[in-house]
C-alpha cells in the first residue's frame, strides 16, 4: 500500500552506501516512486526556504510537486517527516555492528559516527545543514527528533541490544543509549548552528571525550 523506503544496504554492498542505494536496478514503478519522493522533498525545501516552515502548508507542497495531498501523506506520514526522516539509520547500525565486539561501545560509536558523517558531508552537506538548522529552529521538529523509531537514541539502543545478543535491552543499555544519543544530537546541532564551519570530526571527538571522562570537567 504505502511506498517502501529504500531498503538497507546489504553487508557486502559497495563502500559508499548512498551510491549503493542509487545504483540498485529499479523497475519503472520504483523509479517513479523515487522521483516523486524526491520531487516532493525538493519542492518542499524550496517553499520552506522562501516562506518558512510553519507558513508552508502541505497543500502548497503537494501542488508544487504536482501531486494530491493524499499522495503527499502516502510518502510522508507527517509534515515533520519531510525534515526528520532519512535513510541512514540502517547504515549506521551496520557500521556499529561491524566494529569489534570487545571494543568499548563509546569507541565504536565515535568511529562509526565519524565515518558516516564524513560520507554524508561529501554528498549532501548543504541539505544536512538546512535540515539541522530547521530542527533547531522549529519547535515541533525539535520535539519530533525524539519520536519513536528514527531517533539516534533508538538507533544506539538497537545496536547495543544486538551486539549483546539479547532480546530485550537492559536498563544499563537504555540509559547509555539515551545519553549517547542526546549528546550526539546536540553535537550535530552545534555543528549546524556554526554553519558547518567547525570541523565536525573534532566536535564529535570532543563530545566523546567528555562522555568518556565521566563529565569530570564540570
Partner DNA sequence: CCATCTTTTGAGAGTTACTGTCATTTGATA
Partner DNA sequence: TATCAAATGACAGTAACTCTCAAAAGATGG
Residues numbered 119 to 148 that lie near its own copies (CB under 8 A) are 139-140, 142-148
Q: Which residues neighbour 128 within 8 Å (Cβ) at sequence distance 6 or greater?
A: 120, 121, 192
CB-based burial label for 205 (10 Å; 0-12, 13-18, 19+)? middle
Instruction: Report if residue 85 touches its own copies, rule: CB under 8 A.
Output: no
- Choose among its own copies, DNA, none what residue 70 binds, the Cβ cut-off being 5 to 8 Å by kind: DNA
CB 180 within 8 A of CB 160: no
Size of the site for DNA (CB under 7 A): 27
Closest to DNA by CB, 48 or 96: 48
Q: Which stretch binds DNA (CB under 7 A): 24-32, 88-96, 105-113, 121-129?
A: 24-32
Dist CA 210 CA 204 (whole Å): 10
Q: What secondary structure letter does DSSP report for 129?
A: H
173's contact among its own copies, DNA, none, with CB below 5 to 8 A by partner kind, is its own copies
Interface region with its own copies, contact rule CB under 8 A, candidates 16-24, 44-52, 87-95, 208-216: 208-216
Nearest to 184 by CA among 138, 145, 129: 145
Select from 15, 70, 139, 218 the one that contacts DNA (CB under 7 A): 70
Secondary structure class of 42 (helix, strand, coil): helix
CB nearer its own copies, residue 117 or residue 173:
173
CA 86 to chain CA centroid, nearest Å: 5
Contact residues for DNA, defined by CB under 7 A: 1-4, 27-29, 32-33, 36, 56-59, 66-71, 73-75, 77-80
Amino acid at each position: 500500500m504505502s511506498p517502501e523506503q529504500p531498503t538497507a544496504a546489504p553487508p557486502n554492498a559497495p563502500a559508499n552506501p548512498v551510491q549503493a542505494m542509487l545504483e540498485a536496478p529499479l523497475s519503472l514503478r520504483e523509479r517513479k516512486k523515487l522521483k516523486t519522493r524526491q520531487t516532493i522533498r525538493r519542492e518542499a525545501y524550496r517553499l520552506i526556504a522562501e516562506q518558512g516552515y510553519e507558513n508552508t502548508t502541505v497543500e502548497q507542497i503537494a501542488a508544487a510537486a504536482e501531486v494530491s495531498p493524499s499522495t503527499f501523506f502516502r510518502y510522508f506520514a507527517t509534515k515533520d517527516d519531510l525534515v526528520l526522516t532519512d535513510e541512514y539509520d540502517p547504515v549506521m547500525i551496520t557500521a556499529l555492528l561491524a566494529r569489534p565486539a570487545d571494543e568499548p561501545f563509546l569507541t565504536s560509536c565515535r568511529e562509526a559516527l565519524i565515518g558516516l558523517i564524513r560520507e554524508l558531508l561529501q554528498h549532501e552537506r548543504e541539505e544536512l545543514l538546512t535540515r539541522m538548522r530547521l530542527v533547531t529552529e522549529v519547535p515541533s521538529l525539535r520535539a519530533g527528533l525524539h519520536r519513536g523509531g528514527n531517533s539516534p537514541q533508538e538507533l544506539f539502543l538497537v545496536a547495543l541490544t544486538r551486539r549483546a545478543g539479547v532480546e530485550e535491552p537492559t536498563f544499563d543499555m537504555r540509559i547509555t543509549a539515551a545519553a549517547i544519543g542526546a549528546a550526539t544530537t546536540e553535537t550535530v546541532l552545534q555543528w549546524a548552528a556554526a554553519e558547518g564551519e567547525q570541523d565536525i570530526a573534532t566536535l564529535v571527538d570532543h563530545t566523546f571525550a567528555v562522555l568518556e571522562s565521566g563529565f569530570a570537567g564540570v
